[in-house]
Amino acid sequence: MTRGHVLIIVQNLPVPLDRRVWLECQALTAAGYQVSVICPKGPGDARYQELAGVHLYKYAPPPQANGVLGYLLEFVYCWLRTARLTLKVWRRRRFDVIQACNPPDTYWALARLWRSRGVRFVFDHHDLNPEVYRSRFGEPTGLAGRAQLAGLYWLERKTFHTADRVISTNQSYQRIAWERGDVPREHTTVVRSGPDTSVMKPGEARPELRNGREHLVAWLGIMGPQDGVDGVLEIAHKIVREHGREDVQFALMGFGDCLEDLKKQCSELGLDDHVTFTGRVGPPEIADYLSTAAIGLSADPLSPLNDVSTMNKTMEYMAYALPVVSYRLTETVVSAGECAVYLDPGDMDGFAKEVVALLDDPERRQRLGEAGRERAERVLDWRPQAAAYVGVYNELFDVEPEPVAPPSRPAVVLDHRTTGLRGERTLRRVTPTAD
């Protein structure tokens, strides 16, 4: 029995590429809700598609933004395209709730337009836009910069004040909803972007991904100015050139504003043969790389944004039984606990030394990897997060909660090589050797 119709709005990634949003869609459909999504198109995407019971409505993405005017035009373009598609969704079947996933913090205005039709608004708080600004540009000193930052705080407050419920990705974000957004505590719920460990688990290694070398070291994420991927290349340079480790290949999985600049930096550092830039990759490719890698890197620099944000990459490394080397950031420590090797933020020399030491200690890698996988299953797994997420909607619709957390279903089925953590083959994958 269908309980209600939820319309989810996403601007920064297409779905199902946005893993968190896709898991949310699966959880809602499994619990009996109808789900529609409005998002930009990815390469080769159709304008409309029904996938695993989720109705996907997509628009052509805007050109890449440059400067304040460029971002403003991007936000207006996406807002107008989204607003038009909400009418199309409504004509197919009226929706009861709009869930907006930021960035940006602009869809509260659309939610207010639909409020007269009885539509409620749920804010899925993915990013701290004021902190993004401060992390990219520093604390503003000029009038224009202060005005831009004040505008971001104003948009954030409007979003919080419009929302009937706020879903926070961690307790740091929840605290900001309470303190900066004046959201009643009972109207906020923490739903972490935990890995679906029934799908994300070690598979067979792909030796060819090591480019003929003994070890593969992996990084996964969006390549933006605040993500510190340039620092990952500096660490790779120290490992290869200063420590003389010709036996290490690096895989940088992802895309973003900085990708071309990073490729140029890689060439200038003389690392082209040691670094693989995969570009945009899906679940099967991510599974192959993380099942082959020896270590996962979480080298996000300390910033107002990164310190209080949950890094999905860290939890995904752990799901694939990869030991993690990371800078000591508040929410990263909450995620990884004792299952990672931590360095003081900015200590690239120490970071490189720890990676080298861990590569040379297969038993320690195995211990950390197994502990991380256990923590991913026991503490971070998506199933209890799905129960909390669906609980928000059960409360809004005044329905009885499900006795068991709704299962998730992958958008892309991983191939037959994916197996469980236990067993001799997986132990070899946790400590890969040259083939």
**C-beta atoms surrounding 255 within 10 Å:** 15
Decide: 409 and 272 in contact? Cβ < 8 Å. no
3 state SS of 166: strand
Bridge partner residues of 40 (DSSP)? 59
For the chain, the domains span 5-194+382-397, 207-376+422-430
pLDDT score, position 279: 93
Sheet-wide strand order for 97-101: 48-51, 54-59, 34-40, 5-10, 97-101, 120-125, 165-168, 188-190
> From first to last of its 435 residues, what are the pLDDT tens digits of the chain?
568 999 999 998 999 989 899 999 999 999 999 999 999 999 999 999 999 999 999 999 988 777 778 778 899 999 999 999 999 999 999 999 999 999 999 999 999 999 999 999 999 999 999 999 998 888 999 998 999 999 999 999 999 999 999 999 999 999 999 999 999 999 999 999 999 999 999 999 999 999 999 999 999 998 988 889 999 999 999 999 999 999 999 999 999 889 999 999 999 999 999 999 999 888 999 999 999 999 999 999 999 999 999 999 999 999 999 999 999 999 999 999 999 999 999 999 999 999 999 999 999 999 999 999 999 999 999 999 999 999 999 999 988 765 544 444 444 333 322 333 333 333 333 333 333
Let me know how long the chain is. 435
Cα–Cα distances in Å, from 185 out to 18, 70, 129, 169, 179? 27, 37, 21, 15, 10
What is the maximum span of the chain, computed from C-alpha positions, in angstroms? 66
pLDDT score, position 416: 27
Token duo for residue 391? 């609980």
Q: What is the pTM of this model?
A: 0.83
Bridge partner residues of 218 (DSSP)? 251, 296
How many Å separate Cα 356 from the centre of its chain? 27
HSE at residue 81, side-chain half, CA atoms within 13 A, is: 20
Helix axes 229-237, 348-359, angle to 10 degrees: 60
pLDDT score, position 425: 30
Decide: 327 and 299 in contact? Cβ < 8 Å. yes
Comparing CA positions, the residue from 345, 325, 351, 344 lying closest to residue 243 is 351
pLDDT score, position 427: 33
Decide: 64 and 46 in contact? Cβ < 8 Å. no
Query: ω into residue 432 within 30 of 0, thus cis?
Result: no
CATH number of 5-194+382-397: 3.40.50.2000
Within this chain, domains 5-194+382-397 and 207-376+422-430 share the same CATH topology: yes
Token duo for residue 212? 């003929």
Cα–Cα distances in Å, from 418 out to 19, 288, 294, 386? 19, 9, 17, 23
DSSP run (H or E) holding 360: none
Strand boundaries in 254-367, DSSP class E = 275-279, 295-298, 324-327, 340-343
The CATH class of 207-376+422-430 is alpha beta
